[in-house]
Amino acid sequence: METVNEFIELNFKMCNDIKETIGYAEYDSEYIIVTYSLASSDCLFDFNNTWNEVELKIHSDYFKKYHQDFELIVEKQNVCCNTQSKLFELINCNVTGIARSMYLESIVLYLVYQIQKNNLVFQLNCDSCFFVNKPSELDKIKRAKDFIINNLDQNITIPILSNLVGTNQCYLKRGFKEVTGKTIFEFIQENRMEKAKYFLQNTDKTIGEIALITGYASISSFSQSFKNYFGITPGGIAKMQI
C-alpha cells in the first residue's frame, strides 16, 4: 500500500488468475475504491512482469473541496486504451518526493473521471440508444473493438469489420460511435498510437518495426501520424522517461 496523500492510497498486486481486463468501483464506509484487473492477453500493454491489479482508495472527504456532491457510478466495465496507458504510467512511475505525490494524484483523478465517464454510456435508458439497450447489438460492437485491438498491424476497414460482426456498414458506424464515443477511425488511431508509444518507451524495437506492428506501410507515414497525434516525433518520445 502506498499513501499518496491524506486522502488517497494505492495498492498494487500480482495475481495469477486474472482472465479479463476490467475496472469497477465500490464503496465502504469511508472510501471510494476503484479496482483494475489487467490481463495481458487483452491489453495493449504488457503486464505479465509487473503489477496486474491496481486498487485506488479515495476518502470521500477528498471531494468536499469541489463543493458538490460526488457519487461514482458502480458498474463493471472494459478498460479503454487511454486508461490502460495511465495505469501503465502509474505502475511504472519512478519519480520521487513531492513530485511523485503530485503526479500520482493527477493520474488517480484522471482514472476516477474516466471510469465515471465510461459508465455513463451504459446508464442511458432511452429509445434512441438502440445499441446500448440491446445486448446482441452491443456484443457486435464489442467484437469489432476486440478485433481492432488484436489486429492493429492489419489494414482494418469498415467493410472488413461489418462482415466480421454480421451487420451493414452504416449500422456499424452508428453503433460504434454510440457505444464508444469515437468513430471507428478515431478508435483505431488511438489504439495504434498508444501501442506505438509503449513500444518506443519500453522496448528496443526500431521505428520501422513499430510502424509495421501498428499497421503502417512506411516509416514516414507512421512518423507523421505519430507527430500529429502526440505533437512530437517517435524519435523524440523514445528518449522521454515516464
Question: Both 99 and 15 in a single domain?
Answer: yes
What is the distance between the alpha carbons of residues 89 and 167, in angstroms, rounded to a whole number?
37
Question: Quick one: how far is CA 227 from the chain centroid?
Answer: 20
pLDDT higher than 60, residue 120:
no
216: amino acid identity, one letter: Y
pLDDT higher than 70, residue 153:
yes
Task: Classify 228 as helix, strand or coil.
Answer: helix
**The pLDDT of residue 119:** 60
**The pLDDT of residue 235:** 87
**Average per-residue pLDDT for the chain:** 84
| Domain harbouring 189, CATH code | 1.10.10.60
Domain count, the chain: 2
Question: Both 232 and 140 in a single domain?
Answer: yes
On the 0-12 / 13-18 / 19+ scale of CB atoms within 10 A, 127 is: exposed
Question: Both 233 and 172 in a single domain?
Answer: yes
pLDDT higher than 90, residue 9:
yes
What is the distance between the alpha carbons of residues 233 and 224, in angstroms, rounded to a whole number?
8
What is the distance between the alpha carbons of residues 23 and 35, in angstroms, rounded to a whole number?
6
Question: Both 109 and 10 in a single domain?
Answer: yes
Residue 101 confidence class, pLDDT cut points 50, 70, 90? very high
Q: 190-221 pLDDT, tens per residue? A: 999 999 998 998 888 999 999 999 999 899 99
128 located within any domain = no
Residue 125 confidence class, pLDDT cut points 50, 70, 90? very low
pLDDT higher than 90, residue 142:
no
Q: 40-95 pLDDT, tens per residue? A: 777 777 777 778 899 999 998 998 888 887 777 667 777 877 788 889 889 888 88
User: Cβ distance 83 to 89 under 8 Å?
Assistant: no
pLDDT higher than 50, residue 123:
no
Q: Which of 97, 117, 103 is nearest to 23 (CA)?
A: 117
130 located within any domain = no
Question: Both 102 and 141 in a single domain?
Answer: no
What is the distance between the alpha carbons of residues 218 and 209, in angstroms, rounded to a whole number?
10
Structural domain that includes position 190: 135-238
C-alpha cell read off for 138: 452491443
Of residues 42 and 30, more confidence is placed in 30
**The pLDDT of residue 207:** 93
Question: Both 117 and 14 in a single domain?
Answer: yes
**The pLDDT of residue 129:** 47
Q: Which of 20-29, 75-84, 149-158 has the highest mean pLDDT?
A: 149-158
Question: Both 143 and 116 in a single domain?
Answer: no
Question: Both 214 and 189 in a single domain?
Answer: yes
15 located within any domain = yes
234 located within any domain = yes
Question: Both 38 and 86 in a single domain?
Answer: yes
